[in-house]
Amino acid sequence: MKKRKLGFVLSFALAAGTILGACGSSEENEKGSSSEGNKEESFTLAMVTDVGGVDDKSFNQSAWEGIKAFGEENGLEEGKGGYTYLQSQSDADYATNLNNLTRQKFDLVFGVGAMMHDAIAEIAKQQKDSQFSIIDSEVEAENVASIMFKEQESGFLAGVVAANATKGDTVGFIGGMELPVIERFEAGFIAGVRAVNPDIKVESNYSGAFDKAELGQSIASKMYSSGIDVIFHAAGGTGNGLFKEARDLKEKDSERELWAIGVDADQSAEGVVGDHNIILTSAMKRVDVAVQDIATKAQDGNFPGGETTVYGLNEDGVTLAPINEEFAGKAEVETQVNEWIEKIKSGEVTPPESVEEAKEFTAE
């Protein structure tokens, strides 16, 4: 915040000099001075998406909703001097977009996703007077606030629901890229399934991408064809392919019982098929909550630079979306879920972060 305070002092001095020496009307000077003062008082923020895009109905979108909420609450307008985002079409855009926003003098710039780690580290080192925040990774720099989540906790709850909903002995998991953040979702999911019934298997398949819906649909097609009736995805935009496959199958046979579980945001809107909805629930990661929290701290002069803030159930950073009303066991499973939430919050149960640990998990 030192830079912003200095900027205010300089702006005040310049404004004073202008008032004393300008030949224009006093009304014009007062109007200009007031405008500059309001601009200085506003705390501006922006974000750079990963390749999933801002409208991925998942991770990036949740971050953008947090940015917008903060902006609206603080009277900011979308655009330069308020709040905005830049969308990345490829990994090569990350550093360029971050640098672009920094040069536009935004007070805080978020990098959304672990794939932006190297770009944030590079630009933060170059722009030491600027403030950055990275989601889902840790960058050791005094001007970077790192944000992490306990994805294993919401993944665990999703696993509990999946194990109760399946009519078979296997459920599915579709991951995006093989990153620690996705493994935490997978590990939690496996553990949640085992907590209900250790005899139920979890078949996992990684697409290798977060923006390839066609890959998600192809994987989902094979899983559903093999008899799997519940599939959870943690694959960003690739997961949209899962939803399409589930909708298509439901449309062909409305009596067929199959489910998809969303991620990051409540993705129930993506499951509508006539009078039905194929989204069982969603393992939510409240990126919007984390973004608003860090932005508020920075605005108040408490920017947690050089620190990692972790959001779990206790911090309202992860949760489970409402269970589908069409699911016959909804009430009973909701009771189970709430019991597990309390156990996790109290520390009685700790969902594992790695798949290897999850395979040995026992709720006893």
Question: Secondary structure of 215-245 in the HEC alphabet?
Answer: HHHHHHHHHHHCCCCEEEEECHHHHHHHHHH
Same domain, 181 and 210: yes
Q: Is residue 186 part of a domain?
A: yes
| DSSP assignment letter at 214 | H
Q: Sorting pLDDT into bands at 50, 70 and 90, what band is 53?
A: confident
Task: Indicate whether 1 pLDDT > 70.
Answer: no
Task: Indicate whether 21 pLDDT > 70.
Answer: no
Q: Sorting pLDDT into bands at 50, 70 and 90, what band is 302?
A: very high
- Residue 160 tokens read as 């509990």
Taking the CA atoms of residue 196, residue 202, residue 62 and residue 118 in that order, the dihedral angle to the nearest 10 degrees is: 130
pLDDT of residue 7: 40
Q: Quick count: other Cβ atoms within 10 Å of Cβ 26? A: 9
Helix (H, G, I), strand (E, B) or coil at 37: helix
Q: How many CA atoms lie within 13 A of 248 on its CB side?
A: 12
Q: Is residue 159 part of a domain?
A: yes
Give the pLDDT confidence of 202-234 residue by residue, as tens digits. Answer: 999 999 999 899 999 999 999 999 999 999 999
pLDDT of residue 3: 39
Q: Is residue 33 part of a domain?
A: no
Q: What is the mean pLDDT of residues 146-158?
A: 98
Task: Indicate whether 186 pLDDT > 50.
Answer: yes
Q: Is residue 35 part of a domain?
A: no
Q: Based on the structure, what is the number of domains in the chain?
A: 2
pLDDT of residue 6: 36
Gap between the Cα atoms of 323 and 116, Å rounded: 33
Same domain, 144 and 199: no
Q: Is residue 34 part of a domain?
A: no
Same domain, 281 and 305: no
Same domain, 67 and 190: no
Same domain, 54 and 119: yes
Give the pLDDT confidence of 247-300 residue by residue, as tens digits. Answer: 999 999 999 999 999 999 999 999 999 999 999 999 999 999 999 999 999 999
pLDDT of residue 8: 38
Give the amino acid at 44. T
Q: What is the mean pLDDT of residues 13-22?
A: 39
Same domain, 168 and 224: yes
pLDDT of residue 32: 37
Same domain, 134 and 221: no
Residues 6 or more apart in contact with residue 62 via CB below 8 angstroms: 264, 265, 285, 286, 287, 288
pLDDT of residue 234: 97
Q: Is residue 37 part of a domain?
A: no
CA gyration radius, the chain = 23
Predicted TM-score (pTM) of the model is: 0.86
Same domain, 332 and 196: yes
Q: Is residue 322 part of a domain?
A: no
Higher-confidence residue of 24 and 323: namely 323
Given the structure tokens 């770009």, which residue do they identify? 119
pLDDT of residue 57: 78
Across all residues in the chain, what is the average pLDDT?
Answer: 90
Residue range(s) defining the domain that contains residue 332: 151-285+328-358
CATH number (domain holding residue 88): 3.40.50.2300
Same domain, 111 and 170: no
Task: Indicate whether 240 pLDDT > 50.
Answer: yes
Task: Indicate whether 35 pLDDT > 70.
Answer: no
Q: Is residue 130 part of a domain?
A: yes
Same domain, 86 and 169: no
Same domain, 195 and 127: no
Gap between the Cα atoms of 266 and 274, Å rounded: 19
Same domain, 250 and 275: yes
Share of the chain above pLDDT 90, in %: 84
